[in-house]
Amino acid sequence: MKRNSKPKADGLQQGRKAIDQLDKELVRLLAERMKAVQGIADAKRQNPDAPLRDDGRERELFEVWSREAVGHDLSGYFAGRVLREILNWSRREQERQLRPKSEETSTGAVRVGYQGVPACYSDLAITKLFSTRDHKGLARQGFRSFGAAIDALEAGEIDYALLPIENTIAGSINDVYDLLARRNVTIVGEEIIDVEHCLVALPGTKLEDVRVVRSHPVALQQCREFLDNLVGTVAESYHDTAGAARSIAVEKAVDVAAIASEESAAHYGLQVLARKVHDQRENMTRFLLIAREPEAFDKRWPSKSSLVISVNHRQGALLACLQAFATQGVNLTKLESRPLAETPWEYLFYLDIEGRIDDPGVAAALEELRVHTNRLKVLGSYPRCVSETEGVQVAAPQAPAKRNGKVKDGVSMPKIPAAPKKNGALRLAGSREDKSRTRVRIGGVEIGGSQFVVISGPCAIESREQVLESAAMVKACGARIMRGGAFKPRSSPYSFQGLGFEGLDMLREAGRAYEMPVVTEVLRIEDAGRIAEKADMLQVGARNMQNFALLRELGRLDRPILLKRGMSATIEEVLMAAEYIMDAGNNQVVLCERGIRTFETATRATLDVSAIPVLKSRSHLPVIVDPSHAAGVRDLVIPLALAATAAGADGLIVEAHPRPEEALCDKDQALTRGDLEELIHALRPIVAAQGRTL
């Protein structure tokens, strides 16, 4: 390189010296300013009533900076940009100060999982997010997939997982949404990072040497214009951006470049050939911090809640949900739909709203939402990431809520407010103020509406022929839904235990052939998901009514649940079991009275007819009755069924078999074809008198 002449070099050096001095001073002032910010955070902590953000004050600052800047012949816009960044970090510092000290800080490093390899964008997001949290070091762990990170989180091997949820160019990351809907985890924070793609390669590689550009397909897509101009190169997809950078370092490939972050180039000893190679100017990715349990945070922070819902299959149900937010003045910031895997043409909706779930407006909107949804799961309430681009235009801080138990320092756990006194702990299953009733849809059949629904079929699925024959029989008699046990809970281990999944396939085939949705019992938690893929409704048997782990698991599925009353369960306990399912997110519960144990031995169980009106007055859920297991013998089934119908049941579930004498299970109580015809005939006037149809 040609050396500069001496006087020029002197001028350059002097100028640089002056700048270095000024920069030092700038940094010192920034540090001092940050100390002052800490003082403010302290003051805000002392006074939980003080608002965290003061938009007026921020606006004033911008005006002052702009005025000062112009006075110094500096661009007001430039000063504003700098101030925006300073305010951003001030807010982060306050957030860190106001965050309750987490337990991990006392026990050691926080273990954070992400998908990818070191120096990937997720890893960078971890660095940024945890800069606002107190901790004694970060122990990061990269996983091969999003699911593997969530597995480790659920197993307690890590404290958090940080996963990407959306990108401004590429859109939503659906796999992460689906994991959130299904797994037992909660969102506790979010972070947004600027994605600045660079073209990186081994030191010494020149742009014209590059023959292959390797990266994640989405990154390649985001840099298409740049790549189109690189004549003579081919794009090669790789499972992640930082991994592509690493592969070049490992292979020592001289004619390969990767699209990755500047940080990953530094991490793997590569050089940057070109910066900001993505097409759109703004390329940002939002990440979610996921934990096992919700975390407390200061109520004054701008916050956000995420939900997943599936709406009733009724006209206007989605509109009613959205209306609920509008009525309560809750700002809906995102709505995303995903197809439901098990039910073609039905959808799950993911929503982001502003505010915490214990904000009165949000809580009221959620109450309203429950009426219109089959499923409602709160994915988390967490401090909102006030992004760099948001400037001062963020919502005014909410006044600290004093309603539900004043909390020290204004820091509290976001949780759904306590139930109205009237319903005790039955927050979800208890009857509603407006007396509205839930209708549960199973395939095309609705229970709890104007139609009285008869479910029928054999106790157990015994063979393909038996189940097809049974289906033809019950359909001809007027049953709308078919029952049949594939997994049988038998009192004796030596009795027939059911045909399992093979039997379930037969039941499904029969249901399809005769156009009836099917219901079957789930015995084990680990089978629930697989059974839900084949059955239209899942039954919790009497023996499992208080298997709370099973109830929770069923609460996570998008399938209606038939909940049978335990043989020695009180009405309160049945409702509490329903509450478990609903609390896990599934609102589609049908209650079933099937007789209880009393001192009486003349019948298999004693049908508790009074439970029908009691359940219907204490809960909004539909109630059906199983006279078969209460009676235990064929002759009693019809009178009990008629009594239950007269008492207000929404439907019946009765066992029937083409040849009861051959039944492998509960043969004494199975109705014949003739019996079933007789029952339906006798039901007609009772059902009609109640203004319903059969």
As annotated, the active-site residues are 285, 287
DSSP state of 314: S
Q: Closest separation between CB of residue 625 and Mn ion, Å?
A: 14
Q: Closest separation between CB of residue 655 and Mn ion, Å?
A: 6
Asked whether position 414 contacts ligand PEP by CB under 6 A, the answer is no
Does residue 461 contact residue 510 with C-beta atoms inside 8 Å? Answer: no
CB-CB neighbours of 202 under 10 Å: 19
Asked whether position 597 contacts ligand PEP by CB under 6 A, the answer is no
CA distances from 377 to 159, 306, 632 (A): 22, 9, 39
Q: Which of Mn ion, ligand PEP, none binds 542 (CB below 5-8 Å, type-dependent)?
A: ligand PEP
Nearer to Mn ion, 298 or 666 (CB): 666
Asked whether position 321 contacts ligand PEP by CB under 6 A, the answer is no
Does residue 666 contact residue 655 with C-beta atoms inside 8 Å? Answer: yes
Nearest to 542 by CA among 599, 607, 480, 600: 607
CA gap 194, 470 in Å, rounded: 62
- The radius of gyration computed from the CA coordinates of the chain, to the nearest angstrom, equals 32
Q: How many C-alpha atoms does 139 have within 13 Å on its Cβ side? A: 11
CA gap 413, 424 in Å, rounded: 21
Name residues whose C-beta falls within 8 Å of residue 256's C-beta, 6 or more positions apart in sequence. Answer: 201, 210, 211, 212, 213, 214, 248
Nearest position to ligand PEP, beta carbon: 541
Work out which of 111, 267, 299, 564 binds ligand PEP, going by CB under 6 A: 564
Q: Closest separation between CB of residue 241 and Mn ion, Å?
A: 57
Site mask for ligand PEP (CB under 6 A), range 472-501, x = bound: -------------x---x------------
Stretch that binds ligand PEP, among 503-511, 535-543, 547-555, 614-622 (CB under 6 A): 535-543
Give the count of residues interacting with ligand PEP (CB under 6 A).
11
Residue 164, beta-bridge partner list? 287
125 in helix, strand or coil? helix
Nearer to ligand PEP, 127 or 546 (CB): 546
Nearer to ligand PEP, 182 or 543 (CB): 543
Does residue 644 contact residue 625 with C-beta atoms inside 8 Å? Answer: yes
Compute the C-alpha angle 310/313/319, nearest 5°: 70
Burial 550-559 (b: 16+ CB within 10 A, else e): bbbbbbbbbb
Torsion 421-426-428-431 (CA) sign: negative
Q: Which of Mn ion, ligand PEP, none binds 564 (CB below 5-8 Å, type-dependent)?
A: ligand PEP
Please list the alpha-helical segments (H only) found in 329-406.
360-372
What is the token pair recorded at 583? 């609390």
Stretch that binds ligand PEP, among 39-47, 116-124, 343-351, 536-544 (CB under 6 A): 536-544
Q: Which of Mn ion, ligand PEP, none binds 589 (CB below 5-8 Å, type-dependent)?
A: none
Q: Closest separation between CB of residue 672 and Mn ion, Å?
A: 16
Asked whether position 459 contacts ligand PEP by CB under 6 A, the answer is yes
Contact residues toward Mn ion (CB under 5 A) are: 459, 666
Q: Closest separation between CB of residue 537 and ligand PEP, Å?
A: 12
Nearer to ligand PEP, 14 or 463 (CB): 463
Q: Which of Mn ion, ligand PEP, none binds 484 (CB below 5-8 Å, type-dependent)?
A: none
Nearer to ligand PEP, 459 or 531 (CB): 459
Work out which of 277, 542, 554, 676 binds ligand PEP, going by CB under 6 A: 542
Q: What residues line the site for ligand PEP (CB under 6 A)? A: 459, 485, 489, 521, 541-543, 564, 594, 626, 629
